[in-house]
C-alpha cells in the first residue's frame, strides 16, 4: 500500500453510480475517496480536504459539472478532473481545455470503471 493515498472526489447525483465507482476505486488501496451528490456539496468537501483528482458528472442539481470544475479549479481545490457523463454529445470546451483537460478525460456512461482507473493513474503519475 502506498505511504500516502491520493484524495479523489467522485461527484454524481446518482447515488448508485457514485457508490459503484467509489467501491471499485476503493479496491485499489491507492485512494482516499470522498463522494458528493451536488457541486455545492463537493466544493464544501474540497474546502476541507482538497483533492488530487475529481470525477465529475455533468448533469447535477444546482451547479452543473462544468461550473463545478471551473469553481474548484479557480479555488485550487483539485488538480485534475475527469468527466463521467451520460451526455454523449459532450466535448471538451475551450474553458476546460484551458484547465488542461483533453478529450481523453471524458468518459461516457456506461463505461468500464477500469478505463477510468487507468486514466486516473496516468494523470496522478503526471503530478500537479
Find residue 84's DSSP bridge partners.
Answer: 107
Structure confidence at residue 77 (pLDDT): 98
Both ends of the chain: CA-CA distance in Å?
21
Structure confidence at residue 31 (pLDDT): 97
Structure confidence at residue 4 (pLDDT): 86
Structure confidence at residue 89 (pLDDT): 87
Question: Exposed e or buried b for every residue in 96-127, given b needs 16+ CB within 10 A?
Answer: beebebeeebbbeeeeebeebbebbeebbeee
Structure confidence at residue 11 (pLDDT): 98
Domains and CATH numbers, the chain: 6-126 (3.40.50.2300)
Structure confidence at residue 88 (pLDDT): 86
Sign of the torsion formed by the C-alpha atoms of 111, 114, 52 and 93: negative
In this predicted model, what pLDDT tens digit does every residue of 14-42 receive, in sequence order? Answer: 999 999 999 999 999 999 999 999 999 99
Spell out, as residue ranges, where the chain has pLDDT lower than 70.
Answer: 1-3, 127-128
Let me know how many helices (H) and strands (E) the chain has, helices first.
5, 5
Find residue 83's DSSP bridge partners.
Answer: 56, 106
Amino acid at each position: 500500500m502506498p505511504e500516502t493515498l491520493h484524495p479523489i472526489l467522485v461527484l454524481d447525483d446518482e447515488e448508485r453510480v457514485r457508490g459503484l465507482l467509489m467501491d471499485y476505486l476503493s479496491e485499489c488501496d491507492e485512494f482516499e475517496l470522498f463522494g458528493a451528490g451536488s457541486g455545492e456539496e463537493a466544493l464544501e468537501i474540497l474546502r476541507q480536504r482538497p483533492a488530487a483528482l475529481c470525477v465529475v458528472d455533468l448533469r447535477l442539481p444546482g451547479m452543473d459539472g462544468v461550473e463545478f470544475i471551473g469553481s474548484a479549479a479557480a479555488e485550487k481545490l483539485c488538480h485534475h478532473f475527469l468527466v463521467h457523463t451520460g451526455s454523449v454529445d459532450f466535448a471538451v470546451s475551450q474553458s476546460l481545455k484551458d484547465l488542461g483537460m483533453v478529450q481523453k478525460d471524458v468518459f461516457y456512461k456506461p463505461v468500464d470503471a477500469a478505463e477510468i482507473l487507468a486514466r486516473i493513474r496516468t494523470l496522478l503519475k503526471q503530478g500537479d
